[in-house]
Chains A and B, each alone.
Chain A
Amino acid sequence: DVKVTQSSRYLVKRTGEKVFLECVQDMDHENMFWYRQDPGLGLRLIYFSYDVKMKEKGDIPEGYSVSREKKERFSLILESASTNQTSMYLCASSSPRVTDTQYFGPGTRLTVL
Chain B
Amino acid sequence: DQQVKQNSPSLSVQEGRISILNCDYTNSMFDYFLWYKKYPAEGPTFLISISSIKDKNEDGRFTVFLNKSAKHLSLHIVPSQPGDSAVYFCAGHQGAQKLVFGQGTRLTINP
Contacts and interface: CB of A to CB of B under 8 A. Distances in A.
Interface in A16-67: 31, 35, 40-45, 48, 50, 58
Contact of A41 (B45, B46, B103): B103
Interface in B63-111: 89, 91, 93, 97-104
A101 B35 CA distance: 10
Interface residues of A, number: 26
Name the prevailing secondary structure of the A interface residues.
strand
Interface of B: 4, 6, 9, 34, 36, 41-46, 49, 89, 91, 93, 97-104
Given A42-B102, A90-B43, 14 more contacts: A35-B101, A42-B101, A43-B44, A43-B89, A43-B91, A43-B101, A48-B98, A50-B97, A90-B44, A96-B97, A101-B49, A104-B43, A107-B41, A107-B42
30 contacts: A4-B43, A9-B41, A31-B97, A40-B103, A41-B103, A42-B4, A42-B6, A42-B101, A42-B103, A43-B44, A43-B89, A43-B91, A43-B101, A44-B101, A45-B98, A48-B97, A58-B98, A90-B43, A90-B44, A94-B97, A100-B93, A101-B46, A101-B49, A103-B46, A104-B43, A104-B44, A106-B43, A107-B41, A107-B42, A109-B41
